């Protein structure tokens, strides 16, 4: 932050890095994590919007649906989101077992190592043009996005105190946004030259650097736990594999956080599905669709970076999490009101950019700052359950809500989105009320 108390500048970032060496490694970690993800995100979007069924689904599945008289292409996203939710329901207990039975030094490398190995498998699938590769990849990258990012923020809450989080999370988010810039640039520049398969290897390389950052950051996590007399993350947490879901049911703050994520994801899903229908009609070629989504991601990341550097740290440090939770909700209400009045394709893209940018630059850092003030069970188990099962349950629910509302036209759909945005705002107020009851840093 500048001496006058205004938004931070580059000197403030460098000063913070000199004060806290862990910050530099956190920058590199999040930069590489989002670079690796955003190299592949346009591939996911292109697969979901593909008009070639065999590019997305296995031949046997296409035949089964055809035999039962169901037009699979008309339900592509609904089918994919349903399967992703079921996968999350299965994986959440496995993740709960991993974090309950193994210390941080084991389960963090295992999570990222698994994703690296599977990326090598997808390199072979796309290189061989195996039918159904799109569906498998859609499942994988959705799981990767949620678990890998959830683990990152949980680990950051081990490394940094609440005061540090309010001061530094805007900076860390900006480092991730720079990575999110680089990913689509790599994809846009390389996909039509080297093909989709080789992008898997690029992403795997970025995840390898993430493993190095995890190894380096463990020192500061242990140091904070020792100096503040916190429970050590170098020991298994113990407990049940379903502790995360039990905590959400039992604790009011976690219930409000779950509702906040539910309605926030619902807004994004309504917008995402409507956009996919537009893109499917406009770009029949998979490489062209991939390039379009890479440009959209660049626009989102540009706005995100501006907000992170100009506002996020200042808002969190000076005013706490309230503005960072409520401003995105207000922006979404305004955006959907505009779309309900005039649902033009260009406006859909603009509102998509504003919605996603406000989520990444304000909404997510504010939520993650709250987790620095709770114990490790809450953030590694309950936080992960919210970011996986609740998140994908919302995706599934609102994918079908979109299907129903779209029958009445875009204006009705966006009017429904305004209602969801108002519910999201109410959940944000509930979170803020419970957050005030949490203890401050020891």
Q: What is the pLDDT of residues 273-286, one digit of tens each?
A: 877 777 777 777 76
Average of per-residue pLDDT across 156-164 = 83
Would you state the pLDDT for residue 47? 75
Between 201 and 131, where is the model more confident? 201
Task: Quickly state the pLDDT bin for 187 (edges 50, 70, 90).
Answer: confident
Query: Which pair of tokens denotes residue 158?
Result: 């081990």
Between 147 and 249, where is the model more confident? 249
Task: Quickly state the pLDDT bin for 240 (edges 50, 70, 90).
Answer: low
Q: Contact, 35 vs 294, CB < 8 A? A: no
Between 150 and 204, where is the model more confident? 204
Instruction: Please give the share of the chain, as a percent, with pLDDT higher than 90.
Output: 16
CA distance 71 to 76: 9
Torsion sign, CA atoms 114, 119, 122, 123: negative
CA distance 289 to 176: 24
Task: Quickly state the pLDDT bin for 18 (edges 50, 70, 90).
Answer: confident
> Which of 72-76, 280-284, 307-311, 394-398 has the least mean pLDDT?
280-284
Q: Contact, 430 vs 259, CB < 8 A? A: yes
Alpha helices in 128-242 (DSSP H): 133-159, 162-194, 196-227
Would you state the pLDDT for residue 31? 95
**From 1.20.1250.20, 3.30.365.10, 3.30.1380.10, 3.40.50.1000, which CATH number describes the 10-435 domain?**
1.20.1250.20
Q: Contact, 230 vs 377, CB < 8 A? A: no
Q: How many CA atoms lie within 13 A of 4 on its CB side?
A: 3
Task: Quickly state the pLDDT bin for 231 (edges 50, 70, 90).
Answer: low
Q: Say which residues have a Cβ less than 8 Å from residue 68's Cβ, sequence separation at least 6.
A: none
Query: Which pair of tokens denotes residue 82?
Result: 């349903």
Task: Quickly state the pLDDT bin for 239 (edges 50, 70, 90).
Answer: low
Residue of 141, 127, 157 whose CA lies nearest to 230: 157
Neighbours of 343 (CB within 10 A): 18
Question: What is the tens place of the pLDDT at every residue in 60-88?
Answer: 888 888 887 877 777 777 788 788 888 87
CA distance 340 to 351: 12
Task: Quickly state the pLDDT bin for 119 (edges 50, 70, 90).
Answer: very high
Query: Which pair of tokens denotes residue 87?
Result: 């996968």
Q: What is the CA radius of gyration of the chain?
A: 21
Question: Can you state the percent helix, strand and coil of the chain, rounding each to 5?
Answer: 85, 0, 15
Is it the case that residue 368 has pLDDT exceeding 70?
yes
**Is 57 exposed, middle or buried, given 0-12, 13-18 or 19+ CB atoms closer than 10 A?**
buried
- Which range has the top average pLDDT, 47-56, 267-276, 291-300? 267-276
CA distance 114 to 415: 42
In the block, residue with structure tokens 């992008």:
199
Exposure string of 212-230, with b = 16+ CB inside 10 Å and e = fewer, is ebbebbbebbbebbeeeee
Task: Quickly state the pLDDT bin for 238 (edges 50, 70, 90).
Answer: low
DSSP 360: I
Would you state the pLDDT for residue 161? 82
Q: Contact, 376 vs 158, CB < 8 A? A: yes
Neighbours of 429 (CB within 10 A): 14
Average of per-residue pLDDT across 94-108 = 75
Is it the case that residue 381 has pLDDT exceeding 90?
no
Query: Which pair of tokens denotes residue 123?
Result: 């390199």
Average of per-residue pLDDT across 303-331 = 86
Between 348 and 230, where is the model more confident? 348
Between 372 and 241, where is the model more confident? 372
């Amino acid at each position: 932050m500048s001496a006058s108390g205004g938004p931070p500048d580059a000197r403030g970032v460098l000063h913070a890095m000199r004060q806290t060496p862990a910050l530099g490694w956190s920058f590199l970690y999040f930069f590489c994590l989002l670079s690796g993800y955003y190299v592949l995100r346009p591939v996911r979007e292109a697969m979901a919007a593909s008009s070639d069924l065999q590019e997305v689904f296995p031949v046997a599945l296409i035949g089964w649906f055809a035999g039962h008289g169901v037009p699979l292409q008309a339900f592509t996203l609904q089918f994919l989101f349903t399967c992703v939710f079921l996968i999350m329901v299965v994986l959440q207990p496995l993740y709960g077992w991993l974090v309950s039975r193994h210390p941080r030094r084991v389960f963090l490398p295992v999570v990222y190592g698994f994703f690296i190995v599977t990326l090598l498998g997808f390199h072979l699938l796309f290189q061989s043009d195996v039918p159904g590769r799109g569906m498998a990849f859609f499942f994988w990258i959705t799981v990767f996005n949620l678990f890998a990012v959830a683990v990152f923020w949980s680990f950051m809450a081990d490394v940094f105190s609440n005061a540090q989080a309010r001061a530094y999370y805007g900076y860390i988010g900006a480092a991730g946004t720079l990575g999110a810039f680089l990913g689509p640039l790599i994809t846009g520049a390389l996909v039509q030259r080297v093909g989709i398969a080789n992008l898997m290897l690029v992403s795997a390389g970025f995840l390898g650097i993430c493993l190095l950052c995890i190894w380096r950051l463990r020192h500061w996590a242990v140091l904070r736990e020792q100096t503040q007399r916190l429970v050590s993350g170098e020991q298994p947490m113990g407990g049940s594999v379903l502790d995360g879901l039990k905590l959400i049911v039992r604790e009011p703050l976690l219930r409000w956080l779950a509702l906040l994520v539910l309605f926030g994801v619902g807004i994004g899903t309504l917008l995402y599905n409507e956009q996919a229908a537009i893109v499917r009609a406009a770009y029949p070629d998979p490489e062209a669709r991939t390039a379009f989504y890479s440009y959209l991601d660049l626009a989102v990341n540009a706005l995100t970076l501006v907000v992170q550097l100009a506002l996020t740290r200042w808002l969190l440090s000076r005013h706490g999490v309230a503005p960072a939770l409520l401003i995105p909700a207000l922006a979404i209400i305004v955006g959907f009101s505009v779309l309900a009045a005039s649902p033009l394709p260009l406006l859909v893209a603009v509102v998509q950019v504003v919605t996603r940018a406000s989520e990444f630059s304000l909404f997510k850092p504010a939520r993650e700052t709250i987790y620095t003030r709770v114990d490790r069970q809450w953030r590694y188990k309950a936080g992960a359950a919210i970011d996986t099962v609740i998140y994908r349950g919302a995706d599934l629910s609102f994918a079908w809500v979109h299907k129903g509302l779209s029958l009445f036209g875009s204006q009705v759909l966006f009017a429904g989105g305004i209602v969801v945005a108002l519910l999201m705002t109410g959940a944000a107020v509930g979170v803020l009320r419970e957050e005030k009851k949490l203890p401050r840093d020891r």
